[in-house]
Structure 1
Amino acid sequence: MNLTDELERSFGDGPAPRPVDDHLAAGRSALRRRRGLTGAVGAAAGAVALTVVLSVTGGTAPPDSAPDVATDPTPTADTTAPVEPASAPWTDEMGPVRYRDGVLEVRPGSVVHERIDNPFAYTPPQASAALDITYDGRRSWVVIELRRRGGKDEVTYSASVPSNGWASFADYVAEQVDLTTGGDSGWPETVVLTGSGDVVASPGSEILQRTDDPRLGPAFAAPGEPTGAALVTAAEDGQGYFVVWRIVEGTLEVIYVPPIDVVGATFEELLSYARMQYAGGEGLR
């Protein structure tokens, strides 16, 4: 007896084998499942890569989905930081200095060689300054004043070529102060104020032409302050001077134009020049 044969017969024949076509169909289904799983994994990897790009470039994930990659919080504006007001622009007709909101400002690009603060000794909020300054290749000595007239701030500005009759910048400033305060200015006396409040030629001087309504504007005098302008021959040196004046609180202030600037000009031309200077905020000094 063959023991191996007996054992095989004891198990019986078992179930009938599946047809070959069934085995092939099952194999194809398994292959499709493996391919579908691989595609799903690839799609998930693609979604992660897309989220990274959006995070770097500032994009955002769709509203219904949670971000796959942590990102830094979006920066927000600091609303507590002080905001500096933009400086008012400088225009071509402006000089190299100005007063803005009571503060003296120097035009960008200017070089200040020397500066004297408040030479007129004004009490705040009034102020004054004198500067030896170069702007746009041109050096000049300037005086600027901030005065309170009729409840309003008024600025007057004047400029001169350096050393134009003065030994130093300090001498120039001292003369401008004397012109305004009525001290010994170095200019010859041309007009004086009488006890009755009239402006007349000084003894020996002669007024050739004059007007008591020069229309120099609020930069020169406050409304109601007496003003005037004249072409005068001074008794002291026989020179012709164009002068403008104002009477402030009973004091006569006379401003001179040097004789060199008067020669060849008519009275009307000098008046027009003075009006233009005060309208531009520069003045005659």
Structure 2
Amino acid sequence: MDLKEHLDEIAHSGPEHLPVAERLATGRRAVRRRRVGAAAGLVAVVAVGGAAWSALPNEPATVVTAAGAPSPQPSPPSNPGRVAWPSQDSWAAIDGDGAVTLRPDVEVLGRFDDVAGGMPSVALDLQRGGEHRFVLLWVADNGVTSEIVEPASGALNEFVVRSQDVIDGGLPMAVGTGGDYASLPLVAYRNSSLYVVPGATIVRALPDPVPGWCGTWPSHAVEISYEGSRYFAALTEGNCGGSFGSAPAGQTLEEFVAAFASTQP
């Protein structure tokens, strides 16, 4: 039995889903990673696919108890203490024990636990006000907490299945160095210089693509070639996030930069 069939069996049924073409049109994806460990301040946050969300304030949060199958459930109040949110705009967080914490007013419509083979992980169907998201959180052995976010479309188990390429490391991560760094697939900063993983090539690089982004830290927008495919990335050496995704046919690096700039405050 494959993963989708297993999740279907758990869930019994799911919401009607949109046609494939419409799902692809609306299925923008964000991935964020936060390194949590003894070395405080080593934080890497990335957004993959260009999805952008409104920033949330640092509010009190609620903790969610585990659930075996997706079902509507309220968010019980609690006092969770310090929470390592994947990013300021994250609706949910997970710790190394698998405990999930929610922002205030976030409602859990459905949930799958242990979706990332052997790692503390959860897939959540979340709603806050009029906004509806699918979120997948997992904690790797190296202490890095990752988050995949999509506008909700189709069924939660389908979201889990299409997220497996990210969880399984479909593209190699390029890890930067220094006290503040962003780790992205294929490209990162190392000592203020751009670095790509073996086999990847930077086709073009535009320095300082968004005026004022991340203060005085170096920043670039890059076009990358890897195994016959093109990718665009925006990254900075500072801890200000970034963007990464496949380059759509016909799109230029300048058009990617314009779209990314529109998501910045």
Q: Same fold (TM over 0.5)?
A: no
TM-score for the superposition, normalised by structure 2 = 0.38
Q: Higher helix share goes to which structure?
A: 1
TM-score for the superposition, normalised by structure 1 = 0.36
The higher radius of gyration belongs to: 1
Q: Higher strand share goes to which structure?
A: 2
